[in-house]
Amino acid sequence: MEARFLLLGLGLLLLLAAQHTPAVAVPGPECQTKCGGLDIQYPFGIGGNCSLSKRFNVSCREVQHGVYKPFINDVELLNISLINGTIRAMNHISTYCYNSSGLMDRHTWQFDASHSPYRFSDVQNKFTVIGCNTLAYIYADSTGTGYQSGCVSTCQNLTDLADGSCSGLGCCQTAIPKGMGYYEVGFDSGFNTSQIWNFSRCSYAVLMEAEAFNFSTTYISTTKFNDTNTGRVPVVMDWAIRNGTMSLACEEAKLNKTGTYACLSSNSMCVESRNGPGYLCNCAEGYKGNPYLPDGCQDADECKNSPCPSGGVCHNTEGGYWCSCHAGRKYSKQSNTCSPDTSLIIGVTVGFLVLVIFFFFGHILLQKRKLNQVKQEHFREHGGMILFERMRSEKGLAFTVFSEAELTQATNSYDKSKIIGKGGHGIVYRGIVKDNMHVAIKRCALINERQKKEFGQEMLILSQINHKNIVKLVGCCLEVEVPMLVYEFIPNGTLYELIHGKNQALQISFSTLLRIAHEAAEGLNFLHSYASPPIIHGDVKTANILLDENYMAKVSDFGASILAPSDKEQYVTMVQGTCGYLDPEYMQTCQLTEKSDVYSFGVILLEVLTGQEPLKLDGPEMQRSLSSNFLSAMKENNLDAVLPSRLKQQESYELIRGLAELAKQCLDMCGINRPSMKEITDELGRLRKLSLHPWAQIDAEMETRSLLSGSSTATFEMEGATSGYPKQEGESLPLNMNPSSSYYAR
């Protein structure tokens, strides 16, 4: 036959028929791994040194403008399967056509892959013949002495045909044997269609993938079948690691001294080829990936598609998995089910009944003892005994211990109208205790070990402090379930409210703000330098600087404070504070020092200078931090960019520049470079003198009188004022909370 010389199949795999396989090498990162949307997986590869051998080379060709497809020699590649050891390629259809006067055209094809890694799949392919008077042959070798078979397709008229049926009427299919690496098509010229060419003048024959074919009656009356994919259809070929005519079995390949064993992954295994000589590589059970690459087989997570029964729990392991069942059920590996664990249920039931009886009688006994010891128990739970002993030995008992009845009476049984502050962790009430003293009573809403520790710590710290610029602890109550602290009542809110909040409308002078900041610095300086032992506040911010009836600053909230340790290792603590004020060095090292308070005070100076909040969560990301914006402006010598116009018009440049330089020193990233609170206090005192010229002193006195006279107005109603007191134990603002909320609402 003339078409035998076309030899498309021979050309397909001649390039793959090298007689010697080089030592196994893995593809480099420069190798192309995809063509036309198809993953080219090793041992196949595109380009030199990218495949296991030349027989697995794939070329990526442009078939249309901008459209690329993979080819093995001249045959288009559709798919590669490492698991099944198959490829799908496009195979040409052989045709045999007549007209009324005789033979019109003939095209027959042959494949020769006998000396390559490929064999035609006997499982997925069938020799398919279409026609109404057709006998086509398939040969397994070019000599005709090997395997050969044929398939006959006939029909009398088109009504005999049925879509989907390929049983000899218009269509015929036959299987092929294993090991075929060559096939050739031939037509019997005795089956002449010239007499019925009016509805079936052509016959077709091809070895193709069975699942890709579904007979249609239109294939007889038209050339549609031959036009499909330009006369090509898919064929499946099994491939294996073969070395020409010398194909090794698995055990021989493992012992081969030429270094060509292809299963490189440590979790791979060798599998004998099921179609012809040679072997394949698969990942071991419980692994997936490419076994032809070093470390190509990785653990497969079987639990993604859990094989365990309903109600079971899958646990993935390296190379496998195991199943368990929920409490009260037992897993059976044989039946893969979770069944009730009767022995466990009986044991738990009996144990539960015993425990119920035991706790019932135990509860009765405990209740009898608790009725007489409840107040002592509360006192002990809050660490009262240990705390009092320590305070007596160090400073003496410097505050009043209130009874529960006294505080209940002072707050009119905790009437809602007495609430002056409320937050998620507690409530602050205003009350009047003996001697007609106005106080603020703070009661925790929640109790846990951390809050108990902070409660005792705050009480210990405040009991040792007596300074005009630090809020005074009047006493405490420990005999209740929820511990309480009693403070002096501070009526005029906080510095935060004065700058940003409800009292902002007062439009106080800059010199008054500077005085309040100076007084706050004196309070902190006392904690750092004169308290024994020194005290680190830990949560310095404008919301913790309270203003008394004379608008004098009072530093408050010692829930995050610590006594200055003598051993540096004791500095390590859990980071807490308020976002926008936190010392970056403290956040990185978890070491709270006096210089951490200095950094936070530097942010307060910025609020006084600029009137802006330390953190703007709704602004541009690069402009949210007040301290970052300020330091950037100072670095660019552009301080005016962050200052309000009113301040620049009313205050001297020397005062503004001096306060800005002080704030810059406080905000130094390295704590050792920051000034001490003593140095800050002295510098603020010097700067205040700059602002208090004779005319400024007169204005400041008038403003102070105005503030004092207005404190009883509706702006500062005593019953409704939200005075700033130390928040509940352990109630320091989380880092993600907005510090603009009122003091008691935190």
Which amino acids are annotated catalytic?
539
Helix, strand, coil percent content, the chain, rounded in steps of 5? 35, 25, 40
- Classify 614 as helix, strand or coil: coil
607 burial type by CB count under 10 A (0-12 exposed, 13-18 middle, 19+ buried): buried
Q: What is the DSSP string of 97-123?
A: EEETTEEEEEE--EEE-TTSSEEE-TT
User: Does 472 show up as a binding residue in the annotation?
Assistant: no
- Classify 652 as helix, strand or coil: coil
411 burial type by CB count under 10 A (0-12 exposed, 13-18 middle, 19+ buried): buried
Question: Judging by DSSP bridges, how do beta strands 118-120 and 437-444 pair with one another?
Answer: unpaired
Phi, then psi, of 539 in degrees rounded to 5: -150, 55
CA angle in degrees (0–180, nearest 5) for 593-594-596? 70
Question: Judging by DSSP bridges, how do beta strands 45-46 and 419-423 pair with one another?
Answer: unpaired
Phi, then psi, of 439 in degrees rounded to 5: -135, 165
Question: With the C-alpha atoms ordered 251, 256, 260, 263, is the resulting torsion angle positive or negative?
Answer: positive
Long-range CB pairs of 502-506 (<8 Å, 24+ gap) are 502/722, 503/715, 505/715, 506/707, 506/710, 506/715
Question: Judging by DSSP bridges, how do beta strands 545-547 and 473-477 pair with one another?
Answer: unpaired
d(CA 150, CA 494): 101
List 431's β-bridge partners, or say none. 439
Q: According to the 3-state scheme, what is the secondary structure of 509-551? A: CHHHHHHHHHHHHHHHHHHHHCCCCCEECCCCCHHHEEECCCC
User: For residues 620-642, b (16+ Cβ closer than 10 Å) or e, as one string?
Assistant: eeeebbbbebbbebbeeeebeeb
Q: Please give the structure tokens belonging to residue 141.
A: 């070798």
Q: What is the DSSP string of 249-307?
A: PHHHHHH-TTS-----STTEEEEE-SSSSSEEEEEPTTEEE-TTSTT-EEE--GGGG--
Q: According to the 3-state scheme, what is the secondary structure of 149-170? A: EEEEEECCCHHHCCCCCCCCEC
For the chain, what is the largest distance between any 2 Cα atoms, rounded to a whole number of angstroms?
Answer: 133
| 69 touches 35 (CB < 8 A) | yes
Q: Please give the structure tokens belonging to residue 332.
A: 């059976």
| Closest to 470 (Cα-Cα) out of 406, 531, 422 | 531
CA angle in degrees (0–180, nearest 5) for 291-292-297? 25
Q: Please give the structure tokens belonging to residue 435.
A: 């001697």
| Closest to 578 (Cα-Cα) out of 725, 740, 739 | 739
Residues annotated within the binding site for ATP are 442
Residues annotated within the binding site are 442
